[in-house]
Amino acid sequence: MSKRVGIVTGCGKGIGLAIVKNLLSKNEDNYIIGISKSINLELKDLEKFYGERFLFIKSKIDDTEKINKIIDGINQKYGLINFVICNAGIRSRLSISESSLDIYRNVLEINTISNINIAKKFISISLENRVASNILFVSSIVGSRGFDQLSTYAVSKSALEGFMRSAAVEYAKYKIQLNCLAPGFIESSYSESFKQNKKDLYDWTIQQTPMGRWGKCEEIADVASFMISEQNSYMTGTTIYSDGGWTAK
C-alpha cells in the first residue's frame, strides 16, 4: 500500500482526536495533518511519537484564506492530499426565539461555509491533477431530526449534507467521493458535564437510543477510517448514521 496523505480538522479532542489516533495507529502508510484552533499535550505527544507522519497546524477553519494556503503548503510538503475529514464545528444550544440571526450566521459560517471552502479547494486540486480523492464531513443526527434548542446546529448540518449530496453527484465522474458521517450522542469532551448538569435530558437520550447507551469516540473513528479508505470505493453522496439505532425508530 502506498503513502496516503490526509487532513483532519477539529483534531484537538473528542471525535477528531480519536480519528487521528485511529488513522495513525492502524495504518503506517497514513500521513496525517491535524488542524485545530489550539494545540494540547495529546497532540504534542502524537507529534513526538509519530514524527513526520503527524503534523499539527494551528488555525481556525473559518479563516478561509489561511486554510487555503495551508492546503497548498501540504501539497508541496507531502505530495497530493488523498482525503480530508472535516470534523471541526461548534454547537449552540438556544431556543429559536433566543437565537438571533447573527448566531445562525456564525454557526453556519463555521459548520457549513468553512467546510464547503475546504471541499471546494480540495476538489479544485483533485481536478487539476486528475486524481481520485475522498471528502468526509462529520455531520450529526441533528441534521435530519428535530431537536429542542438546537435549530442553529440543525440548520448548519442539514445544509452541509445538502451540499455533500449535490457535490457528490457533480464530481462522481471524476472519482471524487463525498459523504457524511452522522453520529448520535457520543462520549466526547462534553459528556460528563452533560450527564451531571442535564441529567433529565441525558436520561431521555438513553431512552431514545435502542442500544441504551452513548457511543464512544473510538467507535465513530472506526467508521470514519473506513469511509475515507481505499476499501470504500463505491460509496458517495451518502450519510451514514452511527447512533445506536436512534434514526431507525
Range 82-110 average pLDDT: 96
If residue 136 lies in a helix (H) or strand (E), which one and from where to where? strand 133-138
Q: What is the pLDDT of residues 112-164, one digit of tens each?
A: 999 999 999 999 999 999 999 999 999 999 999 989 999 999 999 999 999 99
Q: Is the separation of the CB atoms in 181 and 135 below 8 Å?
A: no
pTM: 0.96
Share of the chain above pLDDT 90, in %: 92
- 22: DSSP letter: H
Please name the helix (run of DSSP H) or strand (run of DSSP E) that holds residue 71, with its range, or none.
helix 64-78
Helix H or strand E segment including 137: strand 133-138
Say which CATH number the domain at 147 has: 3.40.50.720
- Structurally, the chain folds into a number of domains equal to 1
Which domain, by its residues, includes 101? Answer: 4-248
Residue 1 has pLDDT above 70, yes or no: no
